[in-house]
């Protein structure tokens, strides 16, 4: 299983519960080891020099052994010094340059892929307080600098990132049976990251092969060498800056030997779980790219983006997996060789949410999907190319998709072999591991170029998802006006509108007193019958 960099690189800097009680260096170190072994890490120590007042650990290595195509991960900390401060607390300092390497060997290949990274945190310290059963660790790092590259001999992808003003606090409370609960919060003043990618151009190395005439083929010993790859490269550079980062969350780890790293489903069933959220302030980024084309010319592009704020949140437990995030007041700009005009657009809000079951059950489980794009605007250059006569309304557009329902999950989503092969049913089709049982369309709305659509409804599904039961209702506005405008613009010939208008008449009817406002009611009945506004269409 992959481990987020935060839980790996900061693993032994962050700790865990209530203060104002005595704790020793040995107790702090034991608590940290127990926490990471519960998460599936193997902890090794090169050497240990311990006394009642201090412990010095050298060559501390946290390891996760990957399974199948999952990567191995190794985090090495050259030195950790834990010292009793004298007021019942313990001060911990990580010394030297930390290293993190994650790698995997794809099936059918003998070369590992992944990345290696070094991390420097000068001036870092952690103050641990409380008791072994309830520890609090308060972390301070003036700067955390990360520098890494891909494990690839052909392509260079160096990455550097610097966090400034890092502070955080984590608590871990451990019960008598070994189960634990955790909370954490942290912040950083800013993040600055740069990435530079460079490698042999595909256009330069993937030259077509031609077979020589058999009569002219040289002897094997005289066969010419393969043409050497040219020095041409594809290059990419990007810079990202984020201000006012913050994060918070909580989690639970069950008692016993099971851990999430090697047995995710069993750990979830035993009570493992957690949730975390990440927020950021003003965000900006830019990139440049240059690639070689098949005709030998170069395609150069550059772009930038900005956002006023953003959020990201994830949660996992036996009840399901949730993942959501969003940006506000975002703008994007892009130019490229051969592009007839720059692409620039903005949006007041762009957010998403996905929630789904991950532990198999014979009971229905909830799922949800939300996507919102609000206040979408296009640059004048795009409008000029699409609609030079300004026939279409250019008001900000919006799209909303808000769905929820229930489904049967027949296989554990977190298992390494998901999805497993399933015997075909009587109809010859193999059943899907996630089978819908109900769907509620809370909102499905579109507002763009003078036309609107707004749908809602609810469906239920039996063993055959292709034959739902239920009803979907909706209203449409400005459709006829939009079609007439497209004809006037020459986009759609008048004679080609007969088909779309006949379909509209079949599925929708005009609202009394407002012919440009349409409404529809689609009903799904037994045995696959479908009715539109009371008229059977299937």
Query: Where is pLDDT greater, at 434 or 111?
Result: 434
Helices (H), 337-386: 380-386
Query: Where is pLDDT greater, at 10 or 150?
Result: 150
pLDDT given for residue 71 in this prediction: 59
DSSP H or E run through 193: strand 180-200
Residue 55 has pLDDT above 80, yes or no: yes
Residue 38 has pLDDT above 90, yes or no: no
DSSP secondary structure string for all residues of 87-116: SS-EEEEEES-EEEEEEE--TT--S-EEEE
pLDDT given for residue 66 in this prediction: 59
Query: Where is pLDDT greater, at 330 or 503?
Result: 330
Answer yes or no: is 313 within a domain. Answer: no
DSSP H or E run through 190: strand 180-200
CA-based end-to-end distance of the chain: 48
Q: Mean pLDDT over residues 214-239, rounded?
A: 56
Give the three-class secondary structure for 458.
strand
Angle formed by the axes of helices 479-489 and 498-507, to 10°?
Answer: 180
Question: What is the rounded distance in angstroms from the CA atom of residue 467 to the CA atom of residue 459?
Answer: 10
Q: Report the length, in residues, of the chain.
A: 538
Q: Exposed, middle or buried: residue 41 (CB in 10 Å: 0-12, 13-18, 19+)?
A: buried
Is 510:517 a contact under the CB 8 Å cutoff?
yes
Q: Mean pLDDT over residues 162-181, rounded?
A: 92
pLDDT given for residue 99 in this prediction: 93
Number of domains in the chain: 1
pLDDT given for residue 202 in this prediction: 72
Answer yes or no: is 488 within a domain. Answer: yes
**Gyration radius from the chain CA atoms:** 30
Answer yes or no: is 241 within a domain. Answer: no
pLDDT given for residue 5 in this prediction: 37
Residue 220 has pLDDT above 90, yes or no: no
Q: Max CA-CA distance within the chain?
A: 91
Answer yes or no: is 374 within a domain. Answer: no
pLDDT in tens, 442-491: 999 999 999 999 999 999 998 888 889 999 999 999 888 888 888 888 88
Answer yes or no: is 87 within a domain. Answer: no
Q: Mean pLDDT over residues 356-372, rounded?
A: 96
Answer yes or no: is 502 within a domain. Answer: yes
Q: Which residue's structure tokens are 């420097």?
A: 120
Question: What is the rounded distance in angstroms from the CA atom of residue 5 to the CA atom of residue 100?
Answer: 9
pLDDT in tens, 108-121: 666 667 888 999 99
Q: Which residue's structure tokens are 């040219």?
A: 230
Beta strands 42-50 and 113-120, pairing class: unpaired
Query: Where is pLDDT greater, at 473 or 38?
Result: 473
Q: Which domain holds residue 508?
A: 468-538
Question: What is the rounded distance in angstroms from the CA atom of residue 73 to the CA atom of residue 261?
Answer: 12
Answer yes or no: is 509 within a domain. Answer: yes
Residue 219 has pLDDT above 80, yes or no: no
Q: Exposed, middle or buried: residue 390 (CB in 10 Å: 0-12, 13-18, 19+)?
A: exposed
Is 335:303 a contact under the CB 8 Å cutoff?
yes
pLDDT given for residue 156 in this prediction: 64
Answer yes or no: is 529 within a domain. Answer: yes
Residues of the chain with pLDDT > 70, as a percent, come to 85
pLDDT given for residue 319 in this prediction: 95
Q: Which residue's structure tokens are 């313990």?
A: 90
Give the three-class secondary structure for 13.
coil
Q: Exposed, middle or buried: residue 399 (CB in 10 Å: 0-12, 13-18, 19+)?
A: middle
């Amino acid at each position: 299983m992959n481990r987020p960099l935060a839980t790996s690189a900061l693993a032994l800097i962050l700790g865990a519960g209530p203060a104002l009680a005595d704790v020793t260096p040995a107790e702090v170190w034991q608590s940290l080891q127990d926490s990471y072994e519960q998460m599936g890490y193997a902890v090794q120590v090169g050497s240990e020099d311990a006394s009642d007042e201090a412990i010095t650990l050298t060559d501390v290595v946290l390891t996760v052994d990957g399974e199948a195509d999952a990567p191995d991960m190794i985090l090495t900390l050259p030195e950790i010094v834990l010292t009793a401060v004298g007021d019942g607390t313990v001060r911990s300092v990580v010394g030297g340059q930390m290293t993190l390497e994650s790698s995997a060997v794809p099936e059918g290949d003998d070369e590992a892929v992944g990345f290696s990274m070094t991390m420097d945190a000068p001036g870092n310290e952690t103050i641990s307080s409380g008791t072994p059963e309830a520890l609090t660790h308060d972390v301070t790092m003036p700067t955390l600098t990360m520098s890494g590259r891909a494990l690839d001999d052909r392509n260079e992808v160096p990455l550097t990132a610097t966090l400034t003003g890092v502070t955080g606090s984590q608590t871990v409370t451990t019960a008598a049976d070994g189960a634990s609960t955790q909370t954490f919060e942290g912040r950083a003043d800013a993040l600055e990251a740069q990435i530079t990618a460079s490698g042999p151009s595909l256009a330069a190395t993937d030259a077509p092969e031609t077979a020589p005439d058999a009569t002219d083929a040289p002897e094997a010993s005289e066969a010419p060498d393969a043409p050497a790859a040219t020095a041409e490269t594809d290059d990419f550079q990007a810079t990202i800056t984020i201000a006012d980062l913050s994060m918070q969350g909580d989690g639970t780890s069950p008692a016993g030997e099971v851990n999430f790293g090697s047995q995710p489903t069993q750990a979830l069933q035993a009570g493992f779980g957690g949730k975390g959220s990440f927020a950021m302030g003003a965000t900006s980024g830019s990139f440049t790219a240059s690639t070689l084309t098949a005709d030998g010319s170069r395609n150069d592009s550059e772009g930038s983006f900005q956002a006023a704020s953003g959020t990201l949140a994830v949660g996992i437990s036996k009840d399901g997996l949730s993942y959501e995030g969003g940006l506000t007041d975002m703008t994007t700009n892009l130019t490229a060789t051969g592009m007839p005009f720059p692409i620039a657009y903005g949006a007041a809000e762009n957010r998403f949410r996905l929630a789904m079951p991950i532990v198999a059950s014979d009971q229905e489980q909830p799922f949800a999907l939300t996507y919102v794009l609000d206040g979408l605007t296009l640059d004048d250059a795009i409008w000029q190319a699409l609609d030079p006569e300004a026939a279409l309304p250019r008001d900000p557009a919006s799209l909303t998709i808000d769905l929820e329902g229930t489904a049967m999950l027949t296989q554990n989503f977190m298992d390494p072999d998901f999805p497993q092969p399933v015997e075909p049913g009587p109809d010859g089709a193999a059943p899907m591991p996630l089978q819908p049982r109900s769907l509620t369309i809370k909102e499905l709305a579109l507002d763009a170029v003078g036309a609107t659509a707004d749908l809602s409804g609810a469906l239920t599904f039996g063993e055959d998802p292709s034959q739902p039961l239920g009803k979907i209702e909706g209203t449409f506005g400005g459709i006829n006006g939009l079609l007439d405008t497209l004809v006037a613009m020459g986009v759609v010939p008048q004679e080609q509108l007969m088909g779309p208008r006949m379909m509209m008449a079949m599925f929708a009817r005009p609202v009394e007193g407002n012919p440009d406002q349409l409404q529809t009611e689609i009903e799904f009945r037994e045995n696959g019958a479908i009715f539109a506004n009371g008229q059977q269409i299937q």
